């Protein structure tokens, strides 16, 4: 399970002499895909490697939009890339970004999907918290020794549009839209060509799962956010493209929900199929 750590704990870990971790900078901007790599080059937490959302943590986009804006990467190719960064199956991985933890969470979800069994940590507050605490930055790009990562894909963690379509309206399944409420209700849509949500989905904005320091709220608070869900219900989370739903995935896991799945293509995939229904407004 993923753990969120404070900037002070991050400093302790990085200064503690542990050699078997990889620190991953996951900064990214959806409206400027080159921005994250540019700020990494200008300065990052010393020792961090850069992981690019579209180049490393996503597969190629399809012309018809199927798979969404950030399709899942090929597991074998992702495993090779992880290995080139020094990440093996049991390596401790610490990730950060500057967008509330969503891009770091995408990396962590992919690691879980591939069967990574090492410790997975996200630095709360990201690079901004590191700087605010007086942490140093570096422009030096590390050259980690490549290791072997053997993927063991956890098939049940990711679902597609057909799977979601079959579960709409089932009493033992809850579909959760992780986007901001106006996008969920279909009032605005700044990114994708259609506005609205998957029929029957409820809305739980992913950022509401965090406190002001960027730490994941405790299980008690998550249970309040997801009140009404049974612990053994099937829960499917989605967002715009399978990135910002991952914090809700981990929030649900932290609260004890055991049957949580990610609709990997999410809304951008859903609307690529002409026959898929689109709902607007609030669900009862």
Total structural domains within the chain: 2
In a shared domain, residues 12 and 98 = yes
Shortest CA distance to 5 belongs to which of 123, 129, 96, 102? 123
User: Average pLDDT of 17-34?
Assistant: 90
- How deeply is 136 buried, as exposed, middle or buried, from its count of CB atoms within 10 A (0-12, 13-18, 19+)? exposed
Q: Is residue 76 part of a domain?
A: yes
Between residues 42 and 230, which one has the greater pLDDT?
42
In a shared domain, residues 99 and 41 = yes
Q: How many CB atoms lie within 10 A of CB 186?
A: 15
Q: Could you report the per-residue pLDDT of 59-81, keeping only the tens digit for each?
A: 999 999 999 999 999 999 999 99
> 211 lies in which domain range?
155-270
DSSP tag of 96: E
Confidence of residue 16 (pLDDT cuts 50, 70, 90): confident
Q: Is residue 48 part of a domain?
A: yes
Q: Is residue 94 part of a domain?
A: yes
Predicted local confidence at residue 169, as pLDDT: 92
Shortest CA distance to 238 belongs to which of 166, 164, 172? 164
Confidence of residue 19 (pLDDT cuts 50, 70, 90): low
Q: Is residue 227 part of a domain?
A: yes
Q: Show which of 132, 166, 199 is a domain's final residue.
A: 132
Q: Could you report the per-residue pLDDT of 45-63, keeping only the tens digit for each?
A: 999 999 999 999 999 999 9
Predicted local confidence at residue 15, as pLDDT: 85
CATH of the domain at 258: 3.40.250.10
Q: Is residue 237 part of a domain?
A: yes
Shortest CA distance to 261 belongs to which of 246, 276, 275, 243? 246
Q: Could you report the per-residue pLDDT of 222-273, keeping only the tens digit for each?
A: 999 999 998 889 999 999 999 999 999 999 999 999 999 999 999 999 999 9
Q: Show which of 132, 166, 183 is a domain's final residue.
A: 132
Interatomic CA distance for residues 125 and 45, integer angstroms? 13
In a shared domain, residues 128 and 164 = no
In a shared domain, residues 179 and 112 = no
In a shared domain, residues 30 and 120 = yes
Q: Could you report the per-residue pLDDT of 92-120, keeping only the tens digit for each?
A: 999 999 999 999 999 999 999 999 999 99
Residue pair 130/123 in contact by the 8 Å Cβ criterion:
yes
Q: Is residue 255 part of a domain?
A: yes
* DSSP character string of 151-213: ----GGGEE-HHHHHHHTT-TTEEEEE-S-HHHHHTS--SSSSS-SB-TT-EE--GGGGB-TT
Q: Could you report the per-residue pLDDT of 128-168, keeping only the tens digit for each?
A: 999 999 999 999 999 999 999 999 999 999 999 999 999 99
Q: Is residue 279 part of a domain?
A: no
Interatomic CA distance for residues 127 and 214, integer angstroms? 11
Residues 6+ apart with CB under 8 A from 229: 174, 235, 257
CB-based burial, 10-23: b 16+ in 10 Å, e otherwise: bbebbeeeeeebbb
In a shared domain, residues 39 and 160 = no
Predicted local confidence at residue 231, as pLDDT: 86
Interatomic CA distance for residues 247 and 109, integer angstroms? 9
For residue 75, the surrounding DSSP H or E stretch is helix 75-84
- What sign for the dihedral angle of Cα 270, 276, 277, 278? positive
In a shared domain, residues 126 and 162 = no
In a shared domain, residues 49 and 80 = yes
Predicted local confidence at residue 220, as pLDDT: 97
Query: Angle of helix 75-84 relative to helix 102-113, nearest 10 degrees?
Result: 110
Beta bridge partners of 173: 234
Positions marked active-site: 239
Interatomic CA distance for residues 116 and 110, integer angstroms? 9
Predicted local confidence at residue 283, as pLDDT: 87
In a shared domain, residues 172 and 79 = no
Beta bridge partners of 244: none
Q: Could you report the per-residue pLDDT of 190-210, keeping only the tens digit for each?
A: 999 999 999 999 999 999 999
In a shared domain, residues 121 and 64 = yes
In a shared domain, residues 116 and 178 = no
In a shared domain, residues 67 and 173 = no
């Amino acid at each position: 399970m993923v753990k969120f750590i404070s900037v002070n704990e991050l400093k302790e870990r990085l200064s503690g002499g542990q050699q078997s971790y990889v620190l991953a900078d996951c900064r990214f901007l959806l409206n400027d895909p080159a921005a994250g790599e540019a700020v990494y080059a200008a300065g990052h937490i010393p020792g961090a490697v850069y992981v690019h959302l579209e180049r490393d943590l996503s597969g190629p986009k399809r012309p018809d939009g199927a798979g969404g804006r950030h399709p899942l990467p090929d597991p074998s190719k992702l495993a090779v890339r992880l290995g080139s960064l020094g990440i093996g199956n049991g390596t401790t991985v610490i990730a950060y970004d500057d967008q509330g933890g969503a891009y770091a969470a995408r990396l962590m979800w992919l690691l879980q999907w591939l069967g990574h069994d090492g410790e997975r940590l996200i630095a709360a507050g990201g690079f901004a918290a590191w700087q605010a605490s007086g942490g140093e930055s570096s422009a030096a790009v590390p050259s980690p020794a490549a290791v072997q990562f053997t993927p063991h894909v956890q098939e049940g963690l990711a679902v597609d549009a057909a799977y979601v379509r079959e579960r709409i309206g089932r009493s033992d399944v809850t579909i959760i839209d992780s986007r901001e409420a106006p996008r969920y209700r279909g009032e605005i849509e700044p990114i994708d060509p259609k506005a609205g949500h998957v029929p029957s989905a409820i809305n739980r904005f992913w950022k509401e799962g965090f406190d002001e320091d960027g730490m994941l709220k405790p299980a008690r608070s998550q249970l309040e956010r997801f009140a009404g869900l049974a612990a053994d219900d099937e829960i499917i989370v989605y967002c715009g493209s399978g990135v910002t739903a991952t914090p809700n995935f981990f929030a649900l896991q932290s609260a004890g929900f055991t049957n949580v799945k990610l609709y990997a293509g999410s809304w951008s995939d859903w609307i690529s199929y002409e026959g898929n229904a689109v709902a607007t407004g609030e669900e009862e």
